Amino acid sequence: MNDSRKTHFSTITSSIYESLIRNSNGVLGGRFLLAVSGGADSLALLYAMKEIQAVYACELFVITVDHNLREDSASDAEFVKRHCNALGIACSVCRLAEGLVEERARMRKKGVEEAARFLRLHAFEAEAEKRGVDAILTAHTRNDLLETRIMRFFQGASLESLEGIAECRGLYLRPMLRVDRRDVVQFLKDKGLAWREDSTNAETRWLRNRVRHILIPALEECFANPYSGAEKTLRLLGLDAALVADYYEQAKNTEPKCVWSMVGNAEADATSLRCDGAAFLSLPLALKLRFLKEGLTALSVQKRVPLEILEALANISIEKASICSGGLCFVLNDGELVLSLEDRRTASADESGGYLLFVEECGRYSLPFGACTVYKHEDGGIFVKAESDLSEGIGAFSFPFYIRSRFPGDRLGGKNGVMIKKILNDAQLPLVEREIIPIIEERGRISAVYGKVCGIKNYCVSSSAGD
């Protein structure tokens, strides 16, 4: 958009301006809440928006959140407030109570980083409502976008998820997604501005920091411009995805229609959905997976369901009319398919007499060999303890994991490990007990055989569990 008033803008300011125009129907104005931490990216957003405000009619407000996780976090908030005072911009400081982030992490059964983000966004939205703003602006950059895409790629993401951080979603606008962090640093240096460095940003215990400090520098050494390369690849894949999405909508609406409906009337707390069996079975695998994901969303399943579980459910057929996996059950009966949430505290049984239990939290669970407790050991790891076991149980493991019966070909510790069959043969375990002895599987790898349940010693490759 040609506008002579923006000719004096810096590269960063121009990029932010163009984003605002793209997401405001070509008319720049209104009220914006800026999320500013004091770091380089958000400080650049603050000063660039001040340049824009000097030319265009828009009102600016700032919020900064003190998570109370570091000793110097309060000084970061004061730093932001001083800059806002100098620029004549109203600044609100939200100080979270000491220990609140950790408490929320325990309540949500998530990490501290995710809990801090949850509370931060809650503070942003409360301030946005108070100020009556049109958008909340955050300072995510092109670098943040690549980091997110890399993490999701190696975690097994769909193409939609690989898109990463959306420029505009709901009340949130991220106008710096086309800005490189190196340009941010130069922008601040040109203005003679110092910024705050969060000491935890250098710690490689966080996945994003490991990607930022180890993986991306390696990519930059191997490729001239990994950023534009990734963007081109995703644009090409996006064209294919749009075609698949159109085909999916057509396929769902072709008679017999493939549509989820609630089982019963409890829509607010639905645990089961139904659909036409013939319609589902007629879909190609890629579309079956999409349809199953829609069902999981309707059932308010919050956790990421592994592709292996979705593929298992998608393999339902007239010959194999009941499949339970990962806390989900899919049953074909009289031409109707029902997708439901299992009782997650009770192991599901299969037609061969085996069992499978997906465990993602501490608690008491029911299994064929009796009840067991999953608990956090004083050393920090997760242990499994059967009621019949007088020791501390077996561990340590990390969530999520499976407790299941043995499968043919199982090996302790992976493909090069000892055969479970040999372990049981050497222990001279009776056949009936071989069918119930618990196997603990983590991320596709067998970590332990809980032998004490059946009167033999434990075998564990993930810890020094007692013999």
- Round to the nearest angstrom and report the end-to-end CA distance of the chain: 73
**Residues with Cβ < 8 Å from 249, sequence gap 6 or more?**
none
Detail the DSSP E strand segments found in 111-260: 135-137, 168-169, 172-173
Give the integer Cα–Cα distance in Å for 399 and 382.
8
Task: Give the integer Cα–Cα distance in Å for 298 and 270.
Answer: 8
Helix axes 11-22, 40-55, angle to 10 degrees: 70
Report the alpha-carbon distance of residue 292 to residue 311 in Å, rounded: 10
How far apart, in whole angstroms, are the C-alpha atoms of residue 105 and residue 404?
29
Give CA–CA dist 418/424, Å, rounded: 11
Distance of CA 385 to the CA centre of its chain: 29
Which tokens go with 352?
């061969």
Closest by CA position to 139, among listed 286, 51, 10, 34: 34
Residues in the chain: 467
Give the 3-state secondary structure of 227-278: HHHHHHHHHHHHHHHHHHHHHHHHHHCCCCCCCCEECCCCHHHCCEEEEEHH
d(C-alpha 204, C-alpha 182), whole Å:
21
**Dihedral of alpha carbons 391, 394, 398, 404, sign:** negative
Query: Tokens for 394?
Result: 């077996």
Residue the block writes with tokens 């829509």:
267
Strand order, beta sheet including 168-169? 90-95, 59-66, 31-35, 135-137, 172-173, 168-169
H or E element in which residue 12 lies: helix 11-22
Residue with tokens 């910024």: 195
Integer Cα distance of 62 and 81 in angstroms: 9
Give the pLDDT score at 1. Answer: 45
Tens-digit pLDDT string for the chain (467 aa): 455 555 578 889 999 999 998 887 655 678 999 999 999 999 999 999 999 998 888 999 999 999 888 877 889 999 999 999 999 999 999 998 888 888 887 776 677 888 888 899 999 999 999 999 999 999 999 999 999 999 988 877 788 888 888 899 999 999 999 999 999 999 999 999 999 987 777 778 778 889 999 999 999 999 988 888 988 998 898 898 889 889 999 988 888 889 998 876 554 456 789 999 999 999 999 999 999 999 998 888 877 787 888 888 899 988 888 887 767 888 888 889 999 886 555 666 655 567 888 888 888 888 887 888 999 988 888 999 998 888 999 988 998 888 998 888 889 988 789 999 999 999 998 888 888 899 999 877 899 999 999 989 999 985 434 33
- Cβ atoms of 358 and 328 within 8 Å: the answer is no
Q: Which domains does the chain have, with CATH numbers?
A: 4-225 (3.40.50.620), 261-342 (3.30.465), 349-460 (no CATH)
Q: Is the dihedral of CA 185, 191, 192, 196 positive or negative?
A: negative
- Burial, 41: exposed, middle or buried (Cβ in 10 Å; 0-12, 13-18, 19+)? buried
Distance CA 277, CA 317 (A): 9
